[in-house]
Amino acid sequence: MNFNIFNRQKIADGVFFNAIQETKFKSNLISVRFIVPLDESTAAKNALLFPVLLRGSKNFPDIGAIRREEESVYDTDISDGVYKRGDTQILEMRMRVLDNRFSIDGMDITARAVHLLSDVLFAPVMENGIFLADYVESEKQMLVDDIRAQINDKRRYAMQRLMEEMFSDDVFGISELGTVESVCAITPESLTVQYQDLLSRARVEIFAVGNFDFDSLGKTFAKSFASLQRKNIVDTETCAMQSAKETVKTVYERQNISQGKLSLGFYTGVTVRDPNYTAMQLLNIIYGAGVTSKLFLNVREKLSLCYYCGSGDNGQKGFMTVHSGIEFKNEKKAADEILAQLEEIKKGNISENELRDAKLALIDSAERIADSAINMLNWYFACVMNEAVITPKEKCEAIRAVKTEEIVKIAQNIRLDTYYFLCAKEETI
């Protein structure tokens, strides 16, 4: 069996074990990702769950005990994360663990590390079947601080606000962290109910990257999930954006700031499941992703209309964004030039050098997938979510085959949907 390509098996209802064998790393990687629909009523609770789980488990009842166990197992590292992908919220527990080949005392490093991971995930510290109030309240405050920190990071804040305005009638507009109000409303009881629902209904994707005994590891996880009552597994489909708004949605938000943040959202109509998505990725690079892009060379360098200006495409929903930092007085000039550069692509004004540089950049990104376990994990996780497994080598072949006219054809359908400008209060302009 060639694990380097990809191996995947179902080990329980809605639970999948994904194996990628690579012997060149000293440390291996295990990731357990719970995938649920984005929902305003549960986003904050889901975002809070794994931080609370990492506060203590049955055999390791506090942070200190967990840390000591990590250190004793050859400095194993366990961490959590919460992400948004399309219309889903993803909760991850990730573990970096030294390969058993490097054990100097005969310890089965993987087995002991997985025991810790399983204890954290499935046997949290509870009192009368409820999460400990102290742990919940402490993590609530940290989550609230994270949400409020977005407001202080104006670049990140503008990006989030564009999404909220662009997708105000779509679940994609919901933050994966929830809101301050929804976090404050969480109780140990409500969080416990959410935890139980997650274990029974979430789609679960387990990834093991490195040099494992995959058969044994898969059976270990299968045994853990066999003890759970899994039923009514949630739907994790994403609904792509169908069209741009008939009239561009324009939003001006005023704060006491010294630099404007101009963010534009475009409908592209191209998703990761479309055969021409590689051409869309190249279009994005040519337009605004990198130092050879039209936005960088013209809006920033040639005309000096912004401090930064770049584009990004979202293949799950089928849209593209442009984010820039500008002087307030340059708003119209910057916006006009950003749109003008897109028109250049629509007219077919793409040089051979621009196409070559874009292809080289995308190929380089694909070729670097094998450089780290986390790159490999994220690559094949995307394949799983897209329901189409493609190797980095196959991706490179697809990149090389794209023609200029394919990019121009895609550009014809791109439309401005939402215009958002975070600017100063009127009296300070």
How confident is the model over 199-245, as pLDDT tens digits?
999 999 999 999 999 999 999 999 999 999 999 999 999 999 999 99
How confident is the model over 110-136, as pLDDT tens digits?
999 999 999 999 999 999 999 999 999
pLDDT of residue 1: 34
pLDDT of residue 290: 86
Are 358 and 282 spatial neighbours (Cβ–Cβ below 8 Å)? Answer: yes
The residue type found at 306 is C
Place of tokens 């849209």: 319
Q: Helix (H) and strand (E) counts for the chain?
A: 15, 13
The answer to whether residue 418 scores a pLDDT higher than 60 is yes
Pairing of strands 88-98, 77-85: antiparallel
- For 384-394, b/e burial (b = at least 16 CB within 10 A) is bbbeeebbbee
pLDDT of residue 140: 98
> How many residues appear in the chain?
429
Are 310 and 295 spatial neighbours (Cβ–Cβ below 8 Å)? Answer: yes
Are 46 and 105 spatial neighbours (Cβ–Cβ below 8 Å)? Answer: no
Mean pLDDT confidence for 74-87:
97
Are 410 and 374 spatial neighbours (Cβ–Cβ below 8 Å)? Answer: no
Mean pLDDT confidence for 135-162:
95
Rounded to the nearest 5 degrees, what angle is found at the Cα of 255, between the Cα atoms of 253 and 261?
Answer: 60
pLDDT of residue 221: 97
Q: Which of 188, 213, 75, 196 is nearest to 133 (CA)?
A: 188
Mean pLDDT confidence for 296-318:
97
Q: Counting beta carbons within 10 angstroms of the beta carbon of residue 415, is it exposed (0 to 12), middle (13 to 18) or buried (19 or more)?
A: middle
- DSSP-derived letter for residue 325 is E
What does the alpha-carbon distance between residue 8 and residue 24 come to, in Å, rounded to a whole number? 21
Q: Which alpha helices (H) appear in 14-153, and where do they start and end?
A: 43-53, 63-72, 109-122, 133-152
pLDDT of residue 4: 53
* Number of neighbouring beta carbons within 10 Å of residue 426: 8
What does the alpha-carbon distance between residue 106 and residue 108 come to, in Å, rounded to a whole number? 6
Query: What share of the chain in percent tops pLDDT 90?
Result: 96
How confident is the model over 322-347, as pLDDT tens digits?
999 999 999 999 999 999 999 999 99
Residue 132: which residues within 8 A CB-CB, separation 6 or more?
55, 56, 125, 126, 188
Helix, coil or strand: residue 335: helix
Pairing of strands 7-12, 15-21: antiparallel
The answer to whether residue 3 scores a pLDDT higher than 60 is no
What does the alpha-carbon distance between residue 264 and residue 241 come to, in Å, rounded to a whole number? 15
What does the alpha-carbon distance between residue 339 and residue 411 come to, in Å, rounded to a whole number? 12
The residue type found at 428 is T
Rounded to the nearest 5 degrees, what angle is found at the Cα of 114, between the Cα atoms of 61 and 16?
Answer: 120
What does the alpha-carbon distance between residue 334 and residue 324 come to, in Å, rounded to a whole number? 9
What does the alpha-carbon distance between residue 392 and residue 5 come to, in Å, rounded to a whole number? 10
pLDDT of residue 333: 98
Separation in Å, CA 343 to CA 105, 244, 268, 287? 65, 17, 14, 10
Residue 260 CA, chain-centre distance (Å), reads 26
The whole-chain average pLDDT of the chain stands at 96
pLDDT of residue 6: 87
Q: Can you give the C-alpha Rg of the chain in angstroms?
A: 23
The predicted model scores a pTM of: 0.95
